[in-house]
Amino acid sequence: MKTITTTGTYKSPNGQDVQYSFDYPVFESFQDAISELGEPEVLKLVQRMSKVDANNTSREKARVANGHSTRKAQTEEEKARAKADRQANAALLAAIKAEGIKSLDELRSRIR
């Protein structure tokens, strides 16, 4: 099991974004999760994840049906273009990382 540390954000009452850090475990397999957490806890987490996923999907479908969604429906061509853009961006990022560039400032300094 590994532990990942990352950051999240939330909006404060005055409208500013506030960042916070949090840790979460990453398991190599279900067996790894079961050995670390126990079968009852893994089952509880899987059930919670299933409920959250179902709720998120249903909420967005209700928003779309009621005209409240901010998500723009995409045509198949738009989806294909967006996928190609994501793949190109990932390849560009991989090339930048392969050059050992670790920050935007470093990238800008090499371009100039």
Could you tell me if 26 and 2 are in contact, meaning their C-beta atoms sit under 8 angstroms apart?
A: yes
Are 27 and 46 in contact by the 8 Å Cβ rule? The answer is no
**Could you tell me the residue ranges of all domains in the chain?**
1-37
Q: Which residues of the chain have pLDDT under 70?
A: none
Task: Please report the pLDDT score of residue 105 as a whole number.
Answer: 92
User: What is the reported pLDDT for 22?
Assistant: 93
If you ran DSSP here, which 8-state letter would residue 15 be given?
Answer: S
pLDDT single digits (tens) 45-58? 999 999 999 999 99
37 and 64 in contact (C-beta within 8 Å)?
no
| Sequence-distant (≥ 6) Cβ neighbours of residue 5 within 8 angstroms | 21, 22, 23
